[in-house]
Each structure stands twice: as C-alpha cells, then as structure tokens.
Structure 1
C-alpha cells in the first residue's frame, strides 16, 4: 500500500509536518501532532529509516487523544536534571529505608532508566511512552510496577508536561509523578556562524576558562563568551509532585520553587518536595504500611549541583554544536 493510500486525506498535512520536523531534527525542539495509529506507525518507520536506533528524535504516542509527541535531543539541563533526580530520589529512598531498619527492601526499588512503556486500553488502542526518569518496584518473583515517573521540561510548555504526566497517572497506572520545569532568561538563540566552522584549541581553552569562572561565581548563569550568551540566567526551576489517590482517582499536587532569578531558594541540608516512602512501592504493599508517610528528603547540595551542572553543560553543548565536526 502506498503512503498516499495509507494516510487519510485529513491527516496528510499533519503527517508531512511531522516528517519535516523529523528531517530537520533541530535540537531542543518538540512537536505535538494528532495522527491515527496507522499514521504513527508509518511515521515511526520513517524515523527508524532516517536515524536507526538513535535515542533522539524520540517518538511517543498517546492513543487516548491520538497524539504523537516528537522530541529532538534536549538540553543537558533537561536530560541531566532528570537522570540526576532519578539517582537522588533512589539514594534518598535507600537512606530512609536503612534509617528505619528496613534495608531488606532496598533492592526492590530500581531506577527506570531509559525504559519504554506501552499499554493497550480496553478498546485495543496502544500508547507508547518513555519517561525521562523514575523508579519501579520489582519483587523477588520479578513482577514489576512503575511507581514514580519524572518528566523534565525546558523548551516544552508546562501544560504539555501536565498532559504527559496525566497520561502516566491515568493510563499507565503509576501513582506518583514529578515534573521539573525550567525557564531561561534570556532565551537562547543560536548565533549565525558566518562561515566559521572551526574552533581552535586556543578558543576552546578560553571558552572552558570562561565557563569555569561563571560556574564558581554564578552557577545558574548567565554563561557568556565572546559577546554571546550560551545559557542565560536560570530564571526558575520548579519541582512539582503529583499523586493519584488509588481509591478516589483524585490527583493532589505540591509545588516547590527551587531556583528563582539565578538564586537557590531552598535552605537547610534537605528539602521536602512531597515524596514519601510509600511512593516508591505499590499502593497495596503491606511491609511498608507503618512507614508509608515517612518523607523522602532530597539533599539540597546535590540538588544544587545537578541544576548548576545542567546549566553549564547546556552552554557547552550549544557552543560546540555551532561548529562542524
């Protein structure tokens, strides 16, 4: 069957828009477009033909609203904060269990990593998603349950992140989710290269020195070099934890502003973002019933390091990507 015959007339424009987006593959971009499952399959095949098994561009599909989500390679701040938070939460859960003399449960909590999840609803529709990070529970028999998902957003809008989170909570039976959302001021704009596609060893050294100086005096930016801002000031960094009540289905949220106008907003050795030990285990797990509400605190200095490192790495990635390899 030809592509023209396979696509519905009213989907050809959306499909072509998605294919153009894939072909351009500009970094730090996201596209949401509505396509039928068949059209998504065709698009997924085209993406594989273009990029093979590369991690990005990443295609995801929500059968609930026939929505395709395409993400090109994100900023280092996006990916680094998600993986950093995954590690930080995992470590905090382990430390809390050890403190409560329940360290035998530590090995049941695993990191999600880069796992892809799919689910078929009662109408036979398939949704495919990959979280930015998270935790899962695995018992001795190998049965697994996704317990916490992490979604990071930088170039994406907050509302699109909320849609992704609600899909995890409502369709994938995960009961706890975390959003970490950033804004940058000013927004980065790629400079015109004007034909200069090389970067000398001396220039690289000067750039690295400038980045290191900024890291010491202003870790959340702005990271500037040669009259160009490679990462503006981190205007905000907000963590939002969303929990779904397994009985009522209601979603409760808690927001924590972590960075504001380039300054760390949380004080003390640790911060309570709303996570508890119960979030790392299935709702019906009997062994943790007495400690289910025990808070899982995140170490403030590690959180600061994760975000500051992401800002610097984003500046470095943007700088070096302006030059051809």
Structure 2
C-alpha cells in the first residue's frame, strides 16, 4: 500500500499465494483486489503439491517421546530436501513409511494488471522439476510501487524490478520442509 497525502492510502500492489487454494480461487481473489480495492497490480504465486496430502489411517502407538520423534522427523526431512533439491525437485518428504509432503508439482507467478485482460506468467517448477533457465524479471516495474505524483517527483527511469528466482526457489525448500514437519506434528499430537 502506498499513501498519498491528499487522497489517503492507495493500494498499488497486492500479493496472493496459493497452496491450499487452487488457481481459480486465486483468480477470484485477484478480481477482488483489482475491482474491490483498486489495486493496480496483483501478483499470484501458485503452488501445487501432488499427490495431495492425506493423514495416515492409523495412529502411531510406539511414540514415547514426541519431541524426540519430531527432531528425528525434522532431520530426515532436511536430508531428503537437500537430496531432492540437488535433483531440481521439491519433495517428496517421507517419514515412517508415509508421505508427509508430496512433490511440488507446479509453481508459477502471474502478474495481473488492472488495465490488461491477460497476465504475464513465469513458470518456476513444471512437472515436478525446477526450470533450469529462470528469467531475472517477472513483469514488475519500479513505477508499479509508487503513486503518479511520487513517480514524477522521483525522476528515475521506469525499469524492470530484477529478482533472483533461483534464490527464491532455494528458500522455498524451508516452507516445504516445515509443512511436512507440521503435518506430522499435528498427526501425532492429535492421534
């Protein structure tokens, strides 16, 4: 959000991330941001796990120390995550013969603009594999983040916002691992 002194806050860019919510739901959210809140740009980050997660059907009855079990599970998932990442994959994360996180099958970013009908799309992961050649921009401009008055006063060229998508994908391993551990923790605590 950007504040203009005369007009109050002006929403410039909104970000929606979908993991449990699929692409059609994110597109509805995008419409709410653009039509309902007058956002100029909406960034959709879509992530799809395959297969979708399911809890084991029977509770574990041999866990005496939950904290110790969580620590073991975390170490197992971290090792698997690094091994998968070396192969360009995000998942699966398995422990005790159960899949706690499938495979990040698809990840892409869409940039929607209020004045355009179609988005620009940048694919990061396709068919469970990280794209080898990632762009350095996704369609965002410096001017997207400023009001017209601030932009005129700044007197800087409207250039592309550069991103290190490779680094972003490396950091994505952290929430993938955390999701697997959290699912396991919820299951053993609630079982």
Q: Give the corresponding residue for 1:308.
A: 173
**Alpha-carbon offset, residue 160 of structure 1:** 1.5
Per-residue CA shift, 1:233-281, capped at 9, x if unaligned?
1000010000112xxxx4341001101233221536x621111101111
Q: Give the corresponding residue for 1:233.
A: 103
Quick check: 280-289 or 222-231, which moved more? 280-289
Unaligned 5+ residue runs, structure 2?
none
Per-residue CA shift, 1:69-128, capped at 9, x if unaligned?
xxxxxxxxxxxxxxxxxxxxxxxxxxxxxxxxxxxxxxxxxxxxxxxxxxxxxxxxxxxx
With a CA cutoff of 8 Å and minimum separation of 6, indicate the structure with the bigger relative contact order: 2
Q: How many residues align?
A: 184
- Whether the 8 Å contact between 1:199 and 1:323 is mirrored in structure 2 is no
Give the Cα–Cα distance (whole angstroms) in 2 for the partners of residues 157 and 259 of structure 1: 16
Q: Give the corresponding residue for 1:223.
A: 93
Judged with a 3 Å threshold, the aligned counterparts in structure 2 of structure 1 residues 171 and 241 are, in CA distance, closer, same or farther, namely same
Judged with a 3 Å threshold, the aligned counterparts in structure 2 of structure 1 residues 157 and 309 are, in CA distance, closer, same or farther, namely same
**Residue 264 of structure 1 is aligned with which of 130, 134, 139?**
130
Give the Cα–Cα distance (whole angstroms) in 1 for the partners of residues 62 and 185 of structure 2: 10
Q: What are the equivalent positions in structure 2 for 1:163-242 lying under 5 Å apart?
A: 163-194=28-59, 196=61, 200=65, 201-219=67-85, 220-242=90-112
**Alpha-carbon offset, residue 162 of structure 1:** 0.5
**Alpha-carbon offset, residue 171 of structure 1:** 1.8
Q: Which has the larger radius of gyration?
A: 1
**Residue 26 of structure 2 is aligned with which of 151, 158, 161?**
161
Give the Cα–Cα distance (whole angstroms) in 1 for the partners of residues 125 and 7 of structure 2: 39
Give the Cα–Cα distance (whole angstroms) in 1 for the partners of residues 27 and 8 of structure 2: 28
Unaligned 5+ residue runs, structure 1?
1-135
**Alpha-carbon offset, residue 142 of structure 1:** 9.7
**Alpha-carbon offset, residue 144 of structure 1:** 2.4
- Whether the 8 Å contact between 1:178 and 1:240 is mirrored in structure 2 is yes
Judged with a 3 Å threshold, the aligned counterparts in structure 2 of structure 1 residues 207 and 199 are, in CA distance, closer, same or farther, namely farther
Per-residue CA shift, 1:171-226, capped at 9, x if unaligned?
21110001111111111101134374956244233212211111211141110011
Q: What are the equivalent positions in structure 2 for 1:63-82 lying under 5 Å apart?
A: none
CA RMSD of aligned residues (A): 2.5
TM-score normalized with structure 2 length: 0.84
Judged with a 3 Å threshold, the aligned counterparts in structure 2 of structure 1 residues 217 and 187 are, in CA distance, closer, same or farther, namely same
Give the Cα–Cα distance (whole angstroms) in 2 for the partners of residues 148 and 197 of structure 1: 50
